[in-house]
Amino acid sequence: MSGVSRAEVVTVAVAELFRDDGEIVASPMGLVPSLGARLARASFAPDLLLSDGQAYLVDADGVIEGWQPFRRVLDTVVPHGRRHVVMGANQIDRYGNQNISAIGEHARPTKQLLGVRGAPGNTVNHRTSYWVPRHSTRVFVENVDVVAGVGHDNAAKAGPAAQRYHDVHRVVTDLGVFDFAGPDHAMRAVSLHPGVTAEDVVAATGFDLDCTAVPDTRLPTDEELRLLRDVLDPDGLRDREVRR
């Protein structure tokens, strides 16, 4: 199909994260993850539960179908595990450790970020994916400065209680889709977006990354494009978050 933007390919790739999730709470953080989750619910994942970003669960028509204040999220939704969060990341390493806390030495950071937020609890309790709007060596680093989201190596080191429900699933960036099915749970490419080369990705990643024999990320269907363009994001905000 002609005229499909990178942002549209990416949004469909985020939607694909939720395929087969069933009747769980999808918690997308940020614009593209939210569009992706709503696209999934409007097409192949109709049972997903989605919050309005405040205290309500809302169905596809915007009707309030439930109450989910922050306390309930932390007390039961996260520990109960029927949830798939898509968080942002200031840094990610090859084993899926993620940082949203601070850059530099934690005692006196060069840049204070959000803090660890719910990342430690999310990553040891339920499926977690990440969204990176600009794939670069600043984000994909050899070692993250603060482990907020727990990667596969640190979950293993922390023992069975940390590993039992640990499920760092995938990373979607503006260049491709990645998982942690490489040797020792190293990150590896699942697909690259049409027009992206393995060299582009390797150059933008601060650690060795297997990009061999990787297919293109699938294009949106006509129906997905219609939903995205006419229903979910008629103002085209997606193109402001994904520029290349």
Partner 1 sequence: MADKRTTVDDAVAELRDGMTVGIGGWGSRRKPMAAVRAILRSPVRDLTVVSYGGPDVGLLCAAGKVRRVVFGFVTLDSIPFDPHFGRARESGEVEVTEYDEGMFGLALQAAAQRLPFLPTRAGLGSDVPRLSPELRTVRSPYADGEELLAVPAMPLDVTFVHLNRADGRGNAQYLGPDPYFDDLFCLAARRRFVTAERVVSTSELSGSGPVQSLLLNRSMVDGVIESPGGAHFTTAAPDYGRDEPFQKHYVDNAKDPERWPAFVDRFLSGDEAAYQAEVRRFAREVAA
Nearer to partner 1, 60 or 161 (CB): 161
Interaction of residue 123 with partner 1, rule CB under 8 A? yes
Q: Which stretch binds partner 1 (CB under 8 A): 7-15, 103-111, 176-184, 189-197?
A: 103-111
Give the number of other Cβ atoms within 10 Å of residue 81's Cβ.
Answer: 16
Q: How far is the CB of 223 from partner 1 (least distance, A)?
A: 33
Q: Which amino acid is at 223?
A: E
Exactly one of 4, 58, 162, 219 binds partner 1 (CB under 8 A); that residue is 162
Secondary structure (3-state) at 200: helix
DSSP type of residue 58: E
Q: Which stretch binds partner 1 (CB under 8 A): 12-20, 119-127, 178-186, 228-236?
A: 119-127
Secondary structure (3-state) at 111: strand
CA-CA distance, 139 to 113, in Å (whole number)? 14
33 to 72: interface string for partner 1, x by CB under 8 A: ---------------------xxx----------x-xxx-
Give the number of other Cβ atoms within 10 Å of residue 142's Cβ.
Answer: 11
Exactly one of 11, 34, 91, 125 binds partner 1 (CB under 8 A); that residue is 125
Interaction of residue 148 with partner 1, rule CB under 8 A? yes
Give the number of other Cβ atoms within 10 Å of residue 177's Cβ.
Answer: 24
Query: Six-digit token pair at 2?
Result: 């002609």
Exactly one of 166, 185, 188, 193 binds partner 1 (CB under 8 A); that residue is 166
* Contact residues for 169 (Cβ-Cβ < 8 A; gap 6+): 17, 84, 127, 128, 129, 179, 180
Residues composing the chain: 244
Exactly one of 1, 3, 20, 111 binds partner 1 (CB under 8 A); that residue is 111
Interaction of residue 110 with partner 1, rule CB under 8 A? yes
33: nearest Cα among 101, 107, 85: 85
Nearer to partner 1, 91 or 217 (CB): 91
Element (H, E) at 126: none
Q: Which stretch binds partner 1 (CB under 8 A): 21-29, 145-153, 196-204, 206-214?
A: 145-153
Q: How far is the CB of 109 from partner 1 (least distance, A)?
A: 6
Exactly one of 27, 34, 91, 101 binds partner 1 (CB under 8 A); that residue is 101
Interaction of residue 78 with partner 1, rule CB under 8 A? yes
Secondary structure (3-state) at 223: helix
Burial of 212 (0-12, 13-18, 19+ CB in 10 A): exposed
**Binding interface with partner 1 (CB under 8 A):** 54-56, 67, 69-71, 74-75, 78-79, 101-102, 106-121, 123-125, 146-150, 154-155, 157-162, 164-166
